[in-house]
Structure 1
Amino acid sequence: MADGTFAVLMLIAGLTDMGVNHCGTASGCVGAGDVAPRVAFSAGSSLERRADTGAEAYLRYDLSRTIGPFGQAIGLSLGEESGAWAGYGLTWGTGLGNSPFYTELHVMPGLYAASDSFDLGGPIEFRSGIELGYEADNGWRYALSYDHRSNAQIYDNNPGIETVQFRVSMPIR
């Protein structure tokens, strides 16, 4: 899945959730909601595709306001081979039955600065991905995440890059 597949999945799942669970409420389809904000730190590696494998660290802050079923997030990543990226976007998540396991999708456009050895093609790059994890009773989450960054072919050069990371996040109360 080295393209916009996660973005499309998030759109389909989020809009379905919106229609089923949000549009019939007093706040409406895109009404604001409140959730506990959380901060997440991830560490992992870019996958060897067109770039060399290299370490990456990612910091994300999930805001306390939702837009219908969609959360809002701000992220910053620094990679040994993948450069620096900062962006803002939407998340959508769901629990897996009554278990402590969950999945979350995200789509985040952002600004990118290339590394010395690899360039994603331009300063605007989109990050989309999936997180599969476990939420402990205290609200801390432990997850494996996979994401893709590319410029959606708005520039002539669009090599894209994928990363796999271990993420730990905690609610801010």
Structure 2
Amino acid sequence: MDSRFAVFFFIMGGLDGYLNECPTDCFGESTAPERWHLQYGETYFQEEITGDEFYLSYDLPHYISAVQPTIGASVTDTSDIWIGAGAKWSTERISDGPVYLELSLMPGLYLQGDGEDLGFPMQFRGSLSAGYHFDNGASLSVVFDHRSNANTSSLNPGLETLGLRLSWQTQ
């Protein structure tokens, strides 16, 4: 796995949690915006475009410290499937503006269809996105993510997606 996503996720989520949550309850739960996300993007393998991917995810309606639990699933036009669960951190916790950055880290299961051999079914999906929240609760973001097996197999080539994500709150 491209460890930069994991490092940034743990630094930002940990620092936010330490500074803003630990004075009262380091691992306490609080209310978060419940959201659905629909993403379309192009997949890249070895820096070559290999196809298209649709990705659906759901953010649970609470934070645990500074991170929000999330689940997701994607399918490519070559019938590859990825299903996972993890957490995300967003600058919306520390800024009231409409522009935001978001980091996520999600371990998951990769089921190879006619697409690329990623070496092992367990794939960690790390992402970085930048977006804009609209007044109606929707948001639009550009997302880059990387999937790999974090060297749990001798074959660990990785797969990237660059896409657009439309999100909406359910509350």
Residues 59-80 of structure 1 show CA distances to partners (whole Å, capped at 9, x for unaligned) of 0000012110000100000012
Which residue of structure 2 aligns with residue 88 of structure 1? 85
Aligned residues, how many? 170
Q: CA deviation at 1:151?
A: 0.2
Task: Kindly provide the amino acid, as one letter, of the partner of residue 55 in structure 2.
Answer: Y
Q: Give the alignment's TM-score, normalised by structure 1.
A: 0.92
Q: CA deviation at 1:36?
A: 2.2
Task: Give distance in 2, aligned partners of 1:79 and 1:55.
Answer: 6
Q: Within 5 Å, which residues of 2 pair with 1:29-108?
A: 29-49=26-46, 52-81=49-78, 83-95=80-92, 97-108=95-106
Q: Is the 8 A contact 1:125 1:149 kept in 2?
A: yes
Could you tell me the percent identity over the aligned residues?
39
Structure 1, unmatched stretches of 5+, are none
CA RMSD between the two structures:
1.7
Task: Kindly provide the amino acid, as one letter, of the partner of residue 104 in structure 2.
Answer: H
Task: Give distance in 2, aligned partners of 1:81 and 1:158.
Answer: 19
Q: Is the 8 A contact 1:51 1:81 kept in 2?
A: no
111, 114, 137: which one pairs with 2:112? 114
Task: Give distance in 2, aligned partners of 1:148 and 1:48.
Answer: 10
Q: Within 5 Å, which residues of 2 pair with 1:119-130?
A: 119-130=117-128
Q: Is the 8 A contact 2:26 2:65 kept in 1?
A: yes
Secondary structure at 1:53 match in 2: strand
121, 130, 134: which one pairs with 1:136? 134
Specify whether residues 81 and 162 from structure 1 end up closer, same or farther in structure 2 by C-alpha distance, changes over 3 A only: farther
Specify whether residues 120 and 82 from structure 1 end up closer, same or farther in structure 2 by C-alpha distance, changes over 3 A only: farther
Task: Give distance in 2, aligned partners of 1:110 and 1:162.
Answer: 15
Secondary structure at 2:91 match in 1: strand
Which residue of structure 1 aligns with residue 8 of structure 2? 9
151, 155, 158: which one pairs with 1:157? 155
